[in-house]
């Protein structure tokens, strides 16, 4: 995506957002930027060492689910989730298959359709990416005062009624990563 495209998308998104939400977003962006850079790029280093493109990395993390029985995906569905073309996602999946991180399997309902499923090696890499990210955030959290941690915990706890967030948290707590 070109810089002008990014600016247009950002302007369109911001046009329907109230100032309070924009301020919350700015605060979260500042925190996320700090967290992203805090561990000196360890997660990016793992991605670079794997040789994965960003599209492949996103697909791998989606295929990996939350550590439970991984689902199979059709390439078109993955493309839609990440807003890329089907040919682009197909090339990304081909790369994952060549690296042994995913396989193409026959759709049980339609033998003409091939679905994508993560392999054990792919699951290991996806878990490594999550673990490295969490380790960096843990190091940051250790720098917070007890009062700052309590305030942050209270803010995050208030979001646990969102099932998408709560499910990820339950997985991380259950895997011993949190």
Mean pLDDT, rounded, of the chain = 87
For residue 106, what are the β-bridge partners? 114
Please state, for a pLDDT cut of 90, what percent of the chain lies above it.
48
Task: Per-residue pLDDT tens, the chain, 178 aa: give them.
Answer: 566 666 666 666 667 788 899 898 899 889 888 888 888 888 888 889 999 999 999 999 999 886 555 688 999 999 999 999 999 999 999 999 999 999 998 888 888 888 999 999 999 999 999 899 899 999 999 999 999 999 999 999 999 989 888 888 888 887 655 5
pLDDT score for 6 = 65
Domains, in order of start, for the chain: 53-125 (1.10.10.10)
Instruction: Report the relative pairing of strands 102-106 and 114-118 from DSSP bridges.
Output: antiparallel
């Amino acid at each position: 995506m070109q810089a002008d495209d990014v600016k247009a998308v950002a302007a369109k998104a911001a046009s329907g957002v109230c100032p309070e939400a924009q301020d919350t977003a700015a605060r979260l962006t500042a925190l996320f930027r700090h967290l992203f850079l805090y561990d000196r790029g360890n997660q990016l280093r793992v991605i670079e060492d794997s040789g994965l493109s960003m599209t492949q990395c996103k697909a791998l993390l989606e295929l990996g689910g939350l550590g439970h029985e991984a689902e199979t995906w059709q390439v078109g569905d993955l493309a839609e989730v990440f807003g890329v073309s089907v040919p682009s996602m197909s090339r990304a999946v081909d790369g994952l298959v060549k690296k042994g991180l995913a396989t193409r399997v026959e759709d049980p309902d339609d033998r003409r359709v091939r679905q994508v499923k993560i392999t054990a090696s792919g699951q290991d890499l996806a878990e490594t990416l999550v673990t490295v990210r969490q380790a960096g955030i843990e190091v940051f959290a250790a720098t917070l005062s007890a009062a700052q941690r309590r305030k942050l915990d209270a803010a995050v706890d208030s979001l646990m009624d969102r099932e998408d967030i709560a499910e990820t948290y339950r997985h991380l707590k259950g895997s011993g990563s949190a």
